[in-house]
Amino acid sequence: MTEVSNAFHPHARSVHDLLFAPGSRGVLIATSRDPDAKRTFIMTPPAGTYVDGPAGPVAIKIPVTAAAATAISRETRMLIALGEADLGGLGLTIPRYLETLDSDGLPAVVTTVVRGAPMSVGYHRWLHTSRRRPVAEDFALAGGWLRQFQAATAGDRARITWASEVADQLRARWPGHPRLEAAYLRLTAADRQLKRHRVAKTIVHGDYWFGNLLVNDGRITGVVDWESGVRAGWPLRDLVRFALSYCLYLDRHTRPGQQVRGHNGLRREGFGAGIKYGLLEAGWLPDLVRLYLRTGIDAVGLPSGLWYGAALIGLGEIAATANDDGFAANHLELLAALPHWPMAEDLSGADAR
Q: Which residues contact 152 (CB under 8 A, 6 or more apart)?
A: 85, 86, 87, 88, 90
Q: What's the pLDDT score for residue 13? A: 85
DSSP assignment of 166-203 equals HHHHHHHH-TT-TTHHHHHHHHHHHHHHHTT-EEE-EE
Question: Is a pLDDT exceeding 60 seen at residue 215?
Answer: yes
Question: Is a pLDDT exceeding 80 seen at residue 258?
Answer: yes
Q: List the one residue out of 251, 240, 317 whose CA is nearest residue 279.
A: 240
Q: Residue 100 pairs with which residues in a beta bridge?
A: 109
> Any long-range contacts for 46-55 (C-beta under 8 Å, 24+ apart)?
46/21, 46/22, 47/23, 49/18, 49/21, 50/98, 50/99, 53/96, 53/98, 53/112, 54/112, 54/113
Question: Is a pLDDT exceeding 60 seen at residue 312?
Answer: yes
Q: Are strands 213-216 and 230-233 parallel, antiparallel or unpaired?
A: unpaired
Strands of the sheet containing 213-216, edge to edge, are 117-118, 213-216, 219-223
Q: What's the pLDDT score for residue 7? A: 47
Total Cβ atoms within 10 A of residue 153: 22
Q: What's the pLDDT score for residue 112? A: 94
Span 155-181, mean pLDDT?
98
Q: What's the pLDDT score for residue 51? A: 58
Please report the domains of the chain, with CATH numbers, ordered by start residue: 4-112 (3.30.200.20), 117-337 (3.90.1200.10)
Question: What is the longest distance spanned by two Cα atoms in the chain?
Answer: 66
- Average pLDDT for the chain: 91
Q: List the one residue out of 309, 315, 338, 310 whose CA is nearest residue 328.
A: 315
Q: How far is CA 219 from the centre of its chain?
A: 18
Q: Residue 38 pairs with which residues in a beta bridge?
A: 63
Q: List the one residue out of 317, 300, 308 whose CA is nearest residue 162.
A: 317
pLDDT band at 55 (very low <50, low <70, confident <90, very high): low
Q: What's the pLDDT score for residue 50? A: 73
User: Could you give the CA distance from residue 66 to residue 107 in angstroms, rounded to a whole number?
Assistant: 10
- From first CA to last CA, the distance across the chain in angstroms is 38
Q: What's the pLDDT score for residue 9? A: 58
Q: List the one residue out of 243, 341, 348 whose CA is nearest residue 302.
A: 348
pLDDT band at 348 (very low <50, low <70, confident <90, very high): very low
Span 11-31, mean pLDDT?
79
Q: How far is CA 127 from CA 215, 216, 252, in A?
A: 18, 20, 12
Q: List the one residue out of 265, 257, 272 whose CA is nearest residue 328.
A: 272
Total Cβ atoms within 10 A of residue 193: 22
Span 256-269, mean pLDDT?
96
Total Cβ atoms within 10 A of residue 236: 27
User: Could you give the CA distance from residue 103 to residue 69 in angstroms, rounded to a whole number?
Assistant: 10
User: Could you give the CA distance from residue 75 to residue 72 in angstroms, rounded to a whole number?
Assistant: 5
The Cα angle at residue 55 between residues 49 and 57, in degrees rounded to 5: 90
Q: How far is CA 170 from CA 33, 70, 314, 315, 353, in A?
A: 25, 22, 12, 11, 28
Rounded to two decimals, the pTM is: 0.92
Residues 106-126 pLDDT 10s: 999 999 999 999 999 999 999
- Any alpha helices (H) in 21-92, and if so which ranges? 66-84
Q: What's the pLDDT score for residue 179? A: 98
Burial class of residue 144 (count of CB atoms within 10 Å of its CB; 0-12, 13-18, 19+):
middle
Question: Is a pLDDT exceeding 70 seen at residue 59?
Answer: yes
Q: What's the pLDDT score for residue 8? A: 55
User: Could you give the CA distance from residue 123 to residue 250 in angstroms, rounded to a whole number?
Assistant: 9
Q: What's the pLDDT score for residue 54? A: 59
Are 328 and 322 contacting, i.e. CB atoms less than 8 angstroms apart?
yes
User: Could you give the CA distance from residue 305 to residue 293 in angstroms, rounded to a whole number?
Assistant: 9
User: Could you give the CA distance from residue 152 to residue 54 in angstroms, rounded to a whole number?
Assistant: 25
HSE of 212, CA atoms in CB hemisphere, 13 A = 20
Question: Is a pLDDT exceeding 70 seen at residue 198?
Answer: yes
pLDDT band at 145 (very low <50, low <70, confident <90, very high): very high
Q: What's the pLDDT score for residue 52? A: 61
